[in-house]
Amino acid sequence: MKWTNYLKFTLFFAVFCVISLMSLLPPKHIELGSSDKFSHFLAYFVLILTYGYWRHKKYHAILGIVAFICYGVLLELLQGLVPGRVPSFLDCIANSLGVLIGSTILQLRKKLSL
């Protein structure tokens, strides 16, 4: 693995871990306020962007979209097991929109060669 590829993976993995931790910590440790849905959107938007920066091929993009939407749903379901947390369908929608819009931007960037 090339050094730059390692750094790209490290950045992606750090974002992945932060999302996991913030999703599964009890609510007294996290305060998002009224921007909760935007925070969900932004987290998954950044997740797919860092993944797309690390992995470039088309099948990676499709795999990332499916995997991260499923991952967002799984984390929301697991929140039902965390005291003080409640799963939210709207959070799943915000997560999924972040993934879809982020992957769309990646594809447009690739087509425009930016």
Mean pLDDT, the chain, as a whole number? 89
Q: What is the pTM of this model?
A: 0.88
The pLDDT of residue 32 = 58
* Tokens at 2, concatenated: 């090339």
Residue pair 35/74 in contact by the 8 Å Cβ criterion:
no
Residue in the structure block whose two tokens are 């972040």: 98
The pLDDT of residue 112 = 80
Nearest Cα to 55, choosing from 94, 106, 113?
A: 106
Low pLDDT (below 70) residues in the chain: 1, 29-34, 114
The pLDDT of residue 4 = 85
